[in-house]
Amino acid sequence: MISKKDIIEFLKEIEVEDLVKNVQLMGDTAIIDMLSHSPAMHEKKRMEVAMHAAFEDKFGKDLKLKLNISVEVPEKQEIKGKNIPGIKNIIAIASGKGGVGKSTVASNLAISLKKLGFKVGLLDADIYGPSIPVMFDVENAKPTSKDHKMVPIESYGIQLLSLGFFSGANQAVVWRGAMASKAIHQLIHDADWGELDFLLIDLPPGTGDIHLSIVQEVPVTGSVIVSTPQHVALADVKKGVAMFQMPEINVPVLGIIENMAYFVPKELPENKYYIFGKKGAQKLAESLDLPLLGEIPIIQSIREASDYGRPAALQEDELIPNIYIEIAKKMIESLVLRNKNLPPTEAVRITTMAGCSSK
């Protein structure tokens, strides 16, 4: 006669007792409530199949097994890398393709979050061409160290670190491969970022191994994908989204930003010319069930501002700053929603729109 004690002993033997919440024996049926730490359906299925096989092996067909598997994702699994003390939210800025304006968007988003009253850092992890030092007019800066930690360079109130500070723009190529991962690890963990509401990470373009290692390195709260309206760029957005949604990455995508969405001539600011097609990103965002965080026009002064080293979101004229402020607010809205719908993590602290009044 099989007893409840036999079943509990067996659960210990097969080393699943820490996943078992409750065991009941009713006649010839064992009812076991278990936890799965992965939200993926195939994991649940795999657990079910393995349990049935193990029980049949041990107790034969005399004992029926009824499993109730519930999903509980532990905090630890949401947090990819070691938590960084003092940093509340880490947002990865990615693009499926190169040259779509990812670094420009990251810079202006950083400035806009700062204008909304947040403490912001920006890590330039673009190994192929770190451009943040130029965009923030700190091309020749060299970070110092304090208590064995790198001190970020501050520009326009944003804490900055970039591979460009160390490699020199022309040597960017040396950062490829394992060395790049190691360097980025140091920029993230061996730096004194201080207290930050947001650390934005300007990822390299594309979706390769280096992205995976960066994203697994840090507890990324959410990602934002930048695209241009062309079909080829939009097609690559799907790859970017898929990368963040891989089970081992599992970083929520907060939304898509369409850059260079339309052209506005300076002399006719009311006219919008959709040179590369209209509403491509919006339709894509809808089909992927993601928010479109905003559309940024092609404007000469955005490029000039980047080249000059003073992001366009700082301009007196309100056209560009307002577009970016709206995008920053939408991103925070999406983050708030993400925090409501997903299990809380240590890295996620912003739960309301408080502090979002424009300064």
Q: Residue 129 CB, nearest distance to ligand ATP (Å)?
A: 5
For ligand ATP, the closer of residues 30 and 299 by Cβ is: 299
Q: Residue 325 CB, nearest distance to ligand ATP (Å)?
A: 15
Contact (Cβ atoms closer than 8 angstroms) between residue 191 and residue 150: yes
For ligand ATP, the closer of residues 113 and 296 by Cβ is: 296
DSSP 332: H
Q: Residue 198 CB, nearest distance to ligand ATP (Å)?
A: 18
- Closest by alpha carbon to 109, among 300, 287, 289, 334? 334
**Residues engaged in binding ligand ATP (CB under 6 A):** 95, 98-104, 126, 129, 131, 205, 259-260, 296, 298-299, 302-303, 306
For ligand ATP, the closer of residues 11 and 180 by Cβ is: 180
DSSP notation for 94-120: EESSTTSSHHHHHHHHHHHHHHTT--E
Q: Residue 313 CB, nearest distance to ligand ATP (Å)?
A: 11
d(Cα 309, Cα 305) in Å, to the nearest integer?
A: 6
Q: Residue 155 CB, nearest distance to ligand ATP (Å)?
A: 16
| 102-115 and 319-341 helices, crossing angle to 10° | 80
For ligand ATP, the closer of residues 77 and 301 by Cβ is: 301
Q: Which two tokens stand for residue 235?
A: 């097609």
Residue set of the binding site for ATP = 96-103
Q: Which residues contact 80 (CB under 8 A, 6 or more apart)?
A: 215, 216, 217, 218, 219, 220, 249, 251
For ligand ATP, the closer of residues 29 and 300 by Cβ is: 300
d(Cα 255, Cα 111) in Å, to the nearest integer?
A: 19
